[in-house]
Amino acid sequence: MTIEKLTFLLSIVAALCIFQSVAVLADTPISQANATVFGKNVYVFDPGMSSADIQRTASDIFRKMETNQFGADRYALLFKPGTYNVDFNVGFYTQVAGLGLNPDDVQINGGINVNAKWDPHGNALCNFWRALENYTVTPAGGTTRIAVSQAAPIRRLHIKGNLELFDFGPGGNAGYASGGFLADSIIDGNVVPGSQQQWMSRNSHWAHWSSAVWNTVFVGCDNAPSGQFPDPAYTVVDRTPIIREKPYLYIDAKGGYNVFVPSMRRNSLGVSWANGSTPGESIPLDRFYIARPETATAAALNAALAAGKNVLFTPGVYFLDDTVHVTRPDTILLGLGVPSLTATTGKPIISVADVGGVKIAGLILDAGPVDSPELLQIGPTGSHADHSANPTFLYDLSVRTGGPAAGENDIGVEINSSDVVVDQIWVWRADHGDGVGWTVNPTRSGLLVNGDNVIVYGLFIEHHEGYQTLWNGNGGRVYMYQSEMPYDVPDQSSWMSGKTYGYASYMVGENVTRHEAWGVGVYCYFRDSPVRANSAIEAPSSPGIKFHHLTTIWLDGQPGSEITHIINNLGAPVSSHANNKMRQTLSEYP
């Protein structure tokens, strides 16, 4: 055989091998999607899988989760870099995320949407507990719909079209929606919040933002709308003082999984990936303990942490008979697929030492049947170390008392360390679901801050039986506050702060001299009794304490119920009384 013939035959063999390789790549079976190290409820899709199979899998999960508000199922739908032609909706306890290093690495042609069709009026008031992250979507019809309320963050999305944050009910009327969070995202078209009552956007960009209802806050957004509060109800802060975007799972060019930890930014404007890849550090997956609910006991988690591991929680519900102790600086606890951690013996779920650089993200923390002093504690009582060079960050946490089942705790989140940054949190004493009632799911306060220089972007906090927020540390800053007082107060005598009627939602401690908040909304629905709250906000009178753009709302309730003042006995009442209004505002305090 001549050299020429041998070369020719070898070229044919090589071509056949390449063809066969491409054919296999283009026909990856869908069964491989949940055959990864992350367990059966994590689906990892690749571009070689059939679009119809991906569509069917995602739609089947949505049908299961559309109304599954307090169920135990959890899912993560992850997309490897590439292009996909799919169009599906996202239900409860479902995270959809791209596995690229940047949002444009994963291209979705079609749609990934959140609707509210399960409610007869198209209300998205209960569209909680889901997450959309790190991909690009070119929506069919030009519009992506993400109709959500609390605890449904949108992060690192590139939407090549418009974004609507509400849904329509019968007859074309806009259904209610009640709060959400957008960060590090680009919307090429218009954002239409519609009936979205309150919203927080941070470090994002859009072509045009159309309106506001009660309380809409923009921090570090490079095309924020203009207007004069309270009409429209815009609060604009030009720069984000300090942020590190949420860590996320991605797959590298060699097919290995890593967790990417973005770099910290100060006085930032716009998205972290506007000029290329987000700066930061990649941490290989082998430095994580991959927790599964069937095996990850509190003892196993603590052993892994003591051995120097980070923790990646896969989807599910974890019942913990002891506290998870974080003692090492820079430890990461990352939830995948909106997992829940439940206290069972009256101990805190997570306790963090007074160390810097800890990141806790994407978890639900549930109170259990035995009273816990707190569910999450950052730093022990008396913490005083300076962590300004390496703050601890908390992202996308839901802290619940009741809902899935009866539970009780004193405090939801207690922050004793200084220089902690919270990026979207909902601390909720359940007003519906199982285990709900004044004596059934008691909790005194949602958030207690004793540390100095603590920052919160997007503080959603509701229905606790005392102060919703009690802030004793100096130098605190809150950007967007949404709070509802408890619905189920049985009578006024059960709800007195000393001789004062009711409890303020937002209480700044008497020894605080520096505190500032922007876009503060406090609402009431005293369903069971005609009770009064004297003031929505109480704070010392000090030149260093400032509040910007305050709103009170009387949603509904017994005749005679009201919030009498906005802050410190200033501002008119909100109530059903003919001489009062259902909304009051104050632009600045003092």
Which residue of the set 374, 414, 462, 484 is catalytic? 484
- pLDDT at position 7: 42
Q: Which of 207, 133, 144, 29 is nearest to 423 (CA)?
A: 133
Six token digits for residue 140: 């069919």
Residues listed for the chain: 590
When computed from its CA atoms, the radius of gyration of the chain, rounded to whole angstroms, is: 24
ω into 391 cis (within 30 of 0): no
465 catalytic per annotation = no
Q: Which residues pair with 557 in a beta bridge?
A: 526
CB 515 within 8 A of CB 537: no
Q: Is 389 helix (H, G, I), strand (E, B) or coil?
A: coil
The residue type at 208 = H
CB 482 within 8 A of CB 521: yes
- Using CA of residue 29, residue 34, residue 40, residue 43, what is the dihedral sign? negative
Q: How far apart are CA 579 and CA 193, in angstroms?
A: 31
Six token digits for residue 560: 């005679």
Low-confidence ranges of the chain (pLDDT < 50): 1-25
Q: Is 11 helix (H, G, I), strand (E, B) or coil?
A: helix
Q: Is 520 helix (H, G, I), strand (E, B) or coil?
A: strand
What phi and psi values does residue 122 have, to the nearest 5 degrees?
A: 75, 20
What phi and psi values does residue 132 have, to the nearest 5 degrees?
A: -125, 120
Question: Which domains does the chain possess?
Answer: 33-244 (2.160.20.10), 310-484 (2.160.20.10)
Question: Which pTM value belongs to this model?
Answer: 0.95
Cβ count within 10 A of residue 410? 18
Q: How far apart are CA 340 and CA 362, in angstroms?
A: 9
Name every residue whose Cβ is closer than 8 Å to that of residue 407 and which is 6 or more positions away in sequence: 343, 366, 367, 368, 369, 400, 401, 435, 441
- pLDDT at position 578: 67
Q: Which residues pair with 476 in a beta bridge?
A: 515
- pLDDT at position 5: 47
CB 174 within 8 A of CB 154: no
CB 515 within 8 A of CB 539: yes
- pLDDT at position 171: 87
Question: Measured between alpha carbons, how far is residue 295 from residues 33, 44, 290, 400 in Å?
Answer: 22, 22, 10, 23
Structure-token match 């401690």, residue found: 509
Q: How far is C-alpha 137 from the geometric centre of its chain's CA atoms?
A: 21
- pLDDT at position 289: 98
Q: How far apart are CA 417 and CA 420, in angstroms?
A: 7
Buried b (16+ CB within 10 A) or exposed e, 270-286: bbbbeeeebebeebebe
Q: What is the pLDDT of residues 316-371, one digit of tens each?
A: 999 999 999 999 999 999 999 999 999 999 999 999 999 999 999 999 999 999 99
In this structure, what DSSP letter does residue 172 have?
Answer: G
Q: How many CA atoms lie within 13 A of 221 on its CB side?
A: 27
Q: Is 8 helix (H, G, I), strand (E, B) or coil?
A: helix
DSSP string over 500-553: EEB--SEEE-TT---EEEEEEEEEEEE-SS--EEEEEEE----TTEEEEEEEEE
